[in-house]
Homo-oligomer: A and B are copies of this chain.
Amino acid sequence: MMEKKFIYSILYDYYKELLKDNQANIIDLYYNQDYSLSEIAEDMNISRQGVHDALKRAEKSLTDFEDKIKLFYKYEKYQKAAEKIIKLTAEIDDEKYKETVKQIRNEAGKIINEG
């Protein structure tokens, strides 16, 4: 079970463009920059309760997006497959296939590094 904070940070990375500006801002301040609700309230000049409610709505939006389009779930799968490919290539320790193995790793690396 992943930590809640970590989950929302990741979902924010994937879906921030779909959030309303103020919701994106609140998620970022709370989950990435460790602001308290009161600090955000002061910063945005709204009530603490208002921040709390907007945060809950933003969290729900993020989990709804993931339920619907599963970007994080799918990407995790692709990444695991690519990592496994890189691991498997280590078994082909052969001068003859050195260049091919290098290219396979390079392709797998594209999948891993382009979240």
Contact = CB atoms under 8 A, between A and B. Distances in A.
* Contact residues of A: prevailing secondary structure: helix
A106 to B, nearest CB: 9
B18 A68 contact: yes
Interface size class of A (residues with CB under 8 A): 20 to 34
B107 A81 contact: yes
Contacts of A77: 110-111, 114
A111 B69 contact: no
Interface of A: 14-15, 17-18, 65, 68-69, 71, 74-75, 77-78, 81-82, 84-85, 88-89, 91-92, 94, 96-97, 100, 103-104, 107-108, 110-111, 114
